[in-house]
Amino acid sequence: MAAGKEIRTQIASIKNTQKITSAMEMVAASKMKKAQNRMEASRPYSEKITNVIGHLANAHPEFEHPYMKEVGELKRVGIIIISSDRGLCGGLNTNLFRNILKQVADYQAKGIEVDICTIGKKATSFFKNSGLTIKSVLTDLGDAPHFDDLLGTVKVMLDAYDNDEFQQLSVAYNRFANTMTQVPTTAQLIPMVASDAEGMDHRWDYIYEPDAEEALSALLVRYIEALVYQGLVENIACEQSSRMVAMKSATDNAGDMVDELEMVYNKARQAAITQEISEIVSGASAV
Amino acid sequence: MSMIQVDIVSATESLYSGEAKCVFAPGDSGELGIYPQHLPLLSTLRPGEVRVETESGIESIYVSGGIVEVQPTVVTIFSDTAIRAHDLDESKALEAKQRAEEEMANADTDHDITSTQAALAESMAQLQLISKMRGKKR
């Protein structure tokens, strides 16, 4: 019965793992709800500010802000990559990184260099060996990131854009479609992609206070920060839902393994008993 | 009397949304009083109080700076979540930069836990696939 004991310990250890994964599943499920609420709460801001930017594209500002101008030649691009701090969330980060690497390869094929900014530990450790220049890093944001945590990181990238270190800036994150689906997404931040909104053809412009440059800069910087923040909270919701799904399947798999091992264990036990009986019987008949 | 739609939002929540008779906001170059049919206006805001006059009374909301956009029938106020100072942003930016430099500096030397874990997960997945394929063959 040596094998029997081994199998029993194995079953016990798998059951322990199962307990952990099912606990993680439940934790992720409750965190997901909160993360989703936060995502919903930050939506009005980013939607409204996108609206204003839409108006602005239709207005004819006397002052043209650098973020709204099309640049000439594209030599370098910047990408802000948003990932999770922790692992055990299925293929969430890997899918995003693969998506980004593909884009980077496309850029490099065209002779365009790529600078990156990483948010989250996973992206930082993944990309630091990739040969791309990391401009800024932000980690340990926790489950409820504060808007202000982003300011410094985003500022580094905006400053670099202002200094013409790169001519395009995008943000890459996982978009939350629903609990089961997370979509790796890359959105261009600057220069702004002009959207031709409906109807307002006549020439008009805002009154700016204190002046056009200052008001526009303040608005555009906030717009970019809002988009990055929105990406961040969506990514957190994605992380939790993806972890929940991953842990659920881990728990199920552990259950299957336990069933299988129990079957093997019972068979071994039965075989041992049968053997013992037949030994006793044959021993008795010999006497 | 015509009304004006007022939305006050911050990055983390919607602070106010509703119809109003008029709105007062602390503009950077002076107090702004906004009535319906105001011309389009875009202004930065000082930290201060936004007052919304509605049919039922006056709502008062504190904003720590931000931006106001005025359209003839809609006013949108974007409130900052904290007081922003140029120096403060600057120091935060420096911090983020430094972290990046540190990470770049020890890029190749340490095989830290996370990258090892990633490699481990990858080979685990491969093994799983192999065993699955073997199971199918049998």
Write the DSSP symbol of residue A132.
P
Please check whether residue B87 touches A, CB under 8 A. Answer: no
CB contact set of B43 (below 8 Å; sequence gap of 6+): A208, A209, A210, A215, B25, B27, B28, B29, B32, B67, B68
| C-beta atoms of B40 and A41 within 8 A | no
Q: Where is average pLDDT lowest: A109-118, A235-244, B102-111?
A: B102-111
What's domain B4-79's superfamily in CATH?
A: F0F1 ATP synthase delta/epsilon subunit, N-terminal (2.60.15.10)
Q: Nearest C-alpha of chain A: how many angstroms from B20?
A: 18
Residue A117 binned pLDDT confidence (cut-offs 50, 70, 90): very high
Tell me if A280 is assigned to some domain.
no
Give the least confident one: A8-17, A89-98, B85-94: B85-94
Chain A positions touching B121 (Cβ under 8 A) are 87
> Strand B14-20 and strand B4-10: pairing?
antiparallel
Distances (CA, A) of A194 to A19, A72, A190, B7: 52, 16, 10, 24
Q: Which residue has the higher pLDDT, A180 or A173?
A: A173
**Would the pTM of this model clear 0.90, i.e. be above it?**
no
Mutate to test the interface with B, among A37, A125, A203, A211 (most CBs of B within 10 A): A125
Does residue A274 sit within a domain? no
Q: What is the arithmetic mean of pLDDT over B34-58?
A: 90
Q: Is B97 on the interface with A (CB under 8 A)?
A: yes
State how far residue B6 is from chain A, nearest Cα, in angstroms: 12
Q: What's the structural domain count of chain A?
A: 1
Mean pLDDT of B105-128: 70
Nearest-CA neighbor of A191 among A68, A83, A276? A68
Distances from the Cα of A244 to the Cαs of A1, A24, A240, A248, B97, in angstroms? 39, 7, 6, 6, 34
* B38 min Cα distance to partner chain A (Å): 10
Mean pLDDT of the A68-82 span = 86
In the three-class reduction of DSSP (H, G, I as helix; E, B as strand; rest coil), residue A112 is classed as: coil
Establish if A119 belongs to a structural domain: yes
Instruction: Report residue B130: phi and psi, to 5°.
Output: -60, -45
Q: Residue B111: is its pLDDT beyond 60?
A: no
**Cβ-defined contact of B11 to A206 (cutoff 8 Å):** no
pLDDT of residue B120: 76
Q: Residue A259: inside a domain, yes or no?
A: no
Residue of B nearest to A132 (CA): B104
Alpha carbons within 13 A on the beta-carbon side of A196? 1
Inter-chain touch B89–A209, beta carbons under 8 Å: no
Residue owning tokens 């206006």:
B41
Question: What are the tens digits of pLDDT across the range A194-233?
Answer: 655 555 556 678 888 888 888 888 899 899 999 999 999 9
End-to-end CA separation in angstroms for chain A: 26
Per-residue pLDDT tens over the stretch A38-62? 999 988 998 899 888 888 877 777 7
H or E segment and range at residue B32: strand B30-34
What is the least distance, in Å, from the CA of B98 to any CA of chain A? 7
The per-residue pLDDT for range A222-256, each reduced to its tens digit, is 999 999 999 999 999 999 999 999 999 999 999 99
Compute the mean pLDDT over every residue in chain A, rounded to the nearest whole number. Answer: 88
Of A49, A122, A152, the CB nearest to B93: A152
Per the domain annotation, does A284 fall within a domain?
Answer: no
| Domain span including residue A228 | 45-244
pLDDT of residue B78: 92
Q: Does residue A107 form part of some domain?
A: yes
| Within a domain: A20 | no
Q: From the candidates A148, A161, A214, which should be mutated to test the interface with B, based on the most B CB atoms within 10 A?
A: A148
Q: Which residues in chain B are classed under CATH 2.60.15.10?
A: 4-79
Q: Amino acid identity, residue B70? A: V
CATH of residue A226's domain is 3.40.1380.10
Chain B: give the shortest CA distance to residue A278, in Å: 33
User: Is residue A212 in some structural domain?
Assistant: yes
